[in-house]
Structure 1
């Protein structure tokens, strides 16, 4: 559970960084346009923004892949091995799951979680049924074992 919270906080921080970068570069682009700088300078600023955002996005994808990989290991699920399920990070040089590969793995994880929940849910229903039957028998025994009422004066 704490792993999920830690992952959520990490991704949230990365998304915040992404927004800050976009805002900062938007200001720079507006300032360059207001100063009537050449188109080449504005394109350089846009390209720099793209590279910084790619850095953050690759970092998020790698974090997501690590999280899914850990969950798959917990449930003993196979990791997708198809070439179109993986992408190489140009920034970090690490491989991470593409959206398609991550969707496959998430689907497998959900199916395994559901199967495990269904297993325990059926056991709990059985226990509830047995407890209900035992309670009914105990109630019937208590009713028939009552001592006779004393005569009324």
Structure 2
């Protein structure tokens, strides 16, 4: 069942981009970001650094992963609340469908966006990067990316 649901998510998100942000992590991927005061876009990850066109592999064992033959990367360029800084620590990512900036509110029923925590190599974040902080102007690769459906918890 998980693979069937993830295949539907894949269909909606293929061709999208992965965007890394600094700032307070929103409760859900549907919430709008406050780019002027709270959040900063750090890097837009695309196919071979183009900013567009990422795709996922066929879901296996309940996990949606990046297509293994793709190179995901982008050049770090800060935009938002802390745009004047030269180094910032990413706190969350949003994988957004083509045409979605990841900044505005998204309808939870029709919007197509994933969100998760970002951290350095020894963090427990969903997306672990090779470095803990990003420097403006540097290229940022993403070697591995996987997303699993959130697990429902049983009440008691």
Does TM-score exceed 0.5, indicating one fold? no
Structure having greater relative contact order (Cα 8 Å, sep ≥ 6):
2
Structure-1-length-normalised TM-score: 0.18
Which one has a bigger Cα radius of gyration? 1
User: Which structure shows the bigger proportion of residues in strand conformation?
Assistant: 2
